[in-house]
Structure 1
């Protein structure tokens, strides 16, 4: 069912491109129907998965600093307020404000490299599905969600809004984002860094990309993870991992338009597979070093099942297998 929905989304995108000039109203109507189906699918599969828990932040005393009070036996010494203690010569601890609302921001990379897919959908459609899933998992109880979308040369900001209606508005804004004809690669480092400006209270950040950008995005990601709970969603296609045995293969760089013809001999395919494996291992190592969660979604697998497994594993690890 999930594969069929994304396949329909891909067919809609190709169909809409041909008919955008002739029938724009039909394009908008078809888009609304497909987005509604995608939201319904996500709701049916993921509703009740967290059962009140957030995907990232754990319930606890809070993270925002509040007022100080005198130290009492049993208080956590890590919350000692040393400036107040020094002024009053009486031990004080800093209280914290309970986190009752979660603000989530998405950094969505829609570079030209995501307009590629050889399985059930394009990587761009898979990124949109990840947006729908993340918004469904985090928007509840007045939580707000916003996004920063990069399309190569342009960057768009979708303000954070609360509730289901805000999540639906965000999904439609991301789905309707047009990529410039010139293409190009989004500056992923600048896109991630945009989540740090302006400074916000502790929340959740989700970076959705294929992470094929040149190195340089690791440092902003580490800075983001200092204050926020960060999840990196990597989207990929099986043809990015290995070449098919089809003789002469014509390859087009979607970001530059350059065309390359490759003879897919066994030696070439072996070298390509080794280089692709090394590249993906480097991406995984960089994300692990940044201390962020890593979810990998493929265009040839059940992305909803992958998300369910990831969330269940995260919950099991943080609760040590117990039920709150």
Structure 2
């Protein structure tokens, strides 16, 4: 999906069509509560209490069999409020094939908005940048999708180094506590930390575990193929987008390329293990693949646990 070239309206139409075809409502907002209250679906039948129960809900079959008036009480239905935390730090402004990682992140945000659309449902976003977290108020699903896709036309905030000490761990912790009502939570990131840590335990593991204990949580990891393997292009200068540090390397060294590939594979595996231990969903999307298709395969093949209000 050419997020970088098409207009936001054209991208929205294409994404909306793709979601309808490939993502048939596994994260949708038809969310059933576990307590009785206002709603439309019958949950249990009880004796009629004059002055307390609605006579319009009398169950005539049970009343006829028992000889006493009985009414059905509905299960509570609640509007769904979903939130997406988008890693918008410097490392996300990277892409060597079709898209930058931040463009995939914006597309995922829009796809989640379309997935969760329903009467009264809303989606809000939080963006983690070098200067901290910024919040965008919840909007109806389609409006939230339009808002996410308009972001790729704006200039990204990709300064090097963080002026405020807000890493992914602290962002997830704030993300979990600011809106505590159970719902859907999605974290979109590349798991590139300024300190370069690649082994467990990661600082974000405990906050993610707490987030997933309350909410239906999905972690979307976005990578570029050049982050997984070094191409054989001779001498190059690499710059760490998070810190600005530079280093010259000779990519024609076969052993160097092998060590690099092994290190990145180990990082991917450690990340997957940490997300799995937190009991959150995890899907890996690449900038050189059809990310909508890959997201669809994950969502369609994953049993979603019940979200309570």
The 4+ residue runs of structure 1 with deviation greater than 6 A are none
- Is 1:153 the equivalent of 2:140? no
- Is 1:191 the equivalent of 2:171? yes
Unmatched 5+ stretches in structure 2 = 39-43, 46-72
8 Å contact from structure 2 (residues 37, 76) kept in 1: no
Aligned to 1:297: 285
CA gap of 1:195–1:272, structure 2 versus 1, over 3 A, is: same
8 Å contact from structure 1 (residues 63, 99) kept in 2: no
One of 214, 217, 220 as aligned partner of 1:230: 217
CA RMSD of aligned residues (A): 2.9
SS of 2:178's equivalent?
Answer: coil
Compare 147-156 and 96-105 and name the one that shifted more: 96-105
Task: State the Cα deviation string for residues 7-60 of structure 1 (Å, max 9, x = none).
Answer: xx1xx5xxxxxxxxxxxxxxxxxxxx6222221111111126555x44177854
Computing the radius of gyration from Cα coordinates, the structure with the larger value is 2
CA gap of 1:198–1:252, structure 2 versus 1, over 3 A, is: closer
Q: Distance in 2 between matches of 1:122 and 1:239?
A: 12
Please give the TM-score of this superposition, normalised by the length of structure 2. 0.76
Q: Distance in 2 between matches of 1:57 and 1:227?
A: 16
CA gap of 1:97–1:173, structure 2 versus 1, over 3 A, is: farther
Please give the TM-score of this superposition, normalised by the length of structure 1. 0.73
CA gap of 1:167–1:121, structure 2 versus 1, over 3 A, is: closer
CA drift of 1:64 comes to 5.4
Unmatched 5+ stretches in structure 1 = 13-32, 73-94, 320-324
Q: Distance in 2 between matches of 1:63 and 1:270?
A: 52
CA drift of 1:115 comes to 1.1
Aligned to 1:240: 227
8 Å contact from structure 1 (residues 136, 167) kept in 2: yes
Q: Distance in 2 between matches of 1:147 and 1:164?
A: 14
Q: Distance in 2 between matches of 1:48 and 1:241?
A: 31
CA gap of 1:36–1:217, structure 2 versus 1, over 3 A, is: same
SS of 2:85's equivalent?
Answer: strand
Q: How many residues align?
A: 265
SS of 2:192's equivalent?
Answer: coil
CA gap of 1:145–1:157, structure 2 versus 1, over 3 A, is: same
One of 34, 38, 41 as aligned partner of 2:7: 34
